[in-house]
Amino acid sequence: MFRMLVDTCVWLDLAKDQRQLPLLDVIDEMVRLNMVSFIVPRIVLDEFHRNKERVAKESLKGLSAHFKQVRDAVNRVGGEKKEVTAVLAHLDDVNHKLPLMGGTVLETLDRIEKLLNRSQIIEPSDSVTLKAATRAIEKKAPFHRERNSIGDAIIIETYAQCVKDKSATGTRFAFVTHNKNDFSTEHGNQKLPHPDVSNLFSRIKSLYFINLAEALRRIDPTHITDYMLELSWNQEPRGYQEIANATSLLWNQVWYNRHWNLRAGVQEGKIKIVQKETDTDRKGRRETVQRDIWEGALAAAKRVERQYGKKNLGPWDDFEWGMINGKLSALNWVMGEEWDMLDT
C-alpha cells in the first residue's frame, strides 16, 4: 500500500479543472481496493476548508469575465455576419453553461472534503512544530524564499514523521504538490525535490511528485490508463441554442394542435368567421374568429408545416400529447418561465 500526502493546492486545483475529475473516481477505487490511503495533516484540512468558498466563487467569476472579454472581442472585430452570428450563438451556449460549471466545482470541493475527512487526520506534534520552526531559523526550504512558510513546513515535517515511523515498515509513501517554488529544485528539473528536503525521498520507499495523475500511475501502472478511459466520460449539459431549438419545435407543435382545433370548429360550423368581433362575441355568447386573425393563422400554419414537416406536427394520442406539453413546460422553466407555462 502507498500512503500519500497530497498538498492543499493540488486538491484545490483539481476542483477547478473539470478535465481532472476522473482522477477522483480513480482515487475512490484505489482507496476501496486498499491500494492507497491519505496522510492528511490538520493544516491541510483547515486550509482546504478556508479556501473552499473562494475557489468556487473565483472559478465561476473567472469564467464569466473571460466569456465577456471574448464576446466583446468578437463584436469589435466583426466579420461576415453569418460567421459572427454563429460564433455568438456558440458563446451563448457557453454562457448558459457557466452556472452549471460553477455547481460542478462546488460538488467536487464537497467530494474532496469528504475524502479528506474519511482519511487519517494528523494533528501537529510538538516535534513537528519544533522542526518546522528550525527550518525557518536556518532558512531551509520552504523558507528559502524569504516568506512565512510555516504551514508548508509543518506539512513536509508531518510527511517526514510518517515516513520515518518504524511501524511503517513495508509501506511506501508519496508526496504530491503543485507548490514547486517551495518544494522543488530551484534551477533545474522541478520534478525533483529541493535539496533541503531531498533526504526525505528515495527511488523506492518515498516518492516526490508535482502531478497527481503521475503519482497515481506510479502506484498502479497496469490499470490507471484503463481507469482514466472508463471514467473520463462526462455528460455534457445542453447548450442554450439546443434548448432554444427544442423549445421552438415543442411550442409550434402545441400551437399547431390548437390551430387545428380552431380549424375543425370552423369546418364544422361551430365557430363562425366574422369581419370584426364585437363585445358580444368577446364575452363568449357565441364562438367566432375575426377574419384577419383566421387568415393569419392559416398562413402561419403553412409556415410551420414547411419548417418542421407535417410528420412532426401530429396528430398525437393522449400519451404523446401529455409528453409534448410536459417537455415544453420543463424547457420553458429552464429558460426562465414559471412552471406549467404553456401559452402559445
Please name the amino acid found at residue 332: N
Helical ranges in the chain per DSSP H: 8-16, 22-32, 42-77, 81-118, 126-138, 150-164, 180-183, 212-219, 224-231, 240-267, 279-282, 291-308, 318-334
pLDDT value of residue 276: 82
CATH number, domain with residue 193: 3.40.50.1010
pLDDT value of residue 220: 83
Closest of 293, 290, 291, 294 to residue 282, by C-alpha: 290
Domains in the chain, number = 2
Is residue 247 domain-shared with residue 209, that is, in the same domain?
no
* Within a domain: 339: no
| Structural domain ending residue among the three candidates 166, 200, 231 | 231
Prediction pTM value: 0.60
pLDDT value of residue 38: 97
pLDDT in tens, 313-333: 988 888 988 899 889 888 888
Residue 2, beta-bridge partner list: 36, 172
Is residue 144 domain-shared with residue 268, that is, in the same domain?
no
* Within a domain: 323: yes
Is residue 246 domain-shared with residue 173, that is, in the same domain?
no
pLDDT value of residue 88: 62
pLDDT in tens, 148-179: 889 999 999 999 999 999 888 889 999 999 99
| Structural domain ending residue among the three candidates 213, 231, 249 | 231
pLDDT value of residue 101: 54
pLDDT value of residue 75: 64
Is residue 53 domain-shared with residue 137, that is, in the same domain?
yes
pLDDT value of residue 131: 96
Is residue 279 domain-shared with residue 181, that is, in the same domain?
no
pLDDT in tens, the chain (344 residues): 899 999 999 999 999 887 778 888 889 989 999 999 999 999 999 999 999 988 877 776 655 555 566 666 656 666 666 666 666 666 666 665 555 555 578 889 999 999 999 998 999 999 999 999 999 999 999 999 878 889 999 999 999 999 999 888 889 999 999 999 999 998 888 999 999 999 999 999 999 999 998 999 898 876 666 655 555 545 556 777 778 888 889 999 998 988 888 888 888 888 888 888 776 555 555 688 888 888 888 999 999 999 989 888 988 888 988 899 889 888 888 878 888 878 77
Cell numbers standing for residue 204: 523506492
Is residue 110 domain-shared with residue 173, that is, in the same domain?
yes
Is residue 247 domain-shared with residue 226, that is, in the same domain?
no
Please compute, for residue 113, the number of CA atoms within 13 A of its CA located in the half-sphere on the CB side. Answer: 14
pLDDT value of residue 341: 79
pLDDT value of residue 116: 96
- Tell me phi and psi for residue 197, to 5 degrees: -125, 0
Is residue 219 domain-shared with residue 294, that is, in the same domain?
no
Q: Which domain holds residue 221?
A: 2-231
| Structural domain ending residue among the three candidates 174, 208, 231 | 231
Please compute, for residue 13, the number of CA atoms within 13 A of its CA located in the half-sphere on the CB side. Answer: 13
pLDDT in tens, 216-227: 989 887 666 665
Is residue 181 domain-shared with residue 293, that is, in the same domain?
no
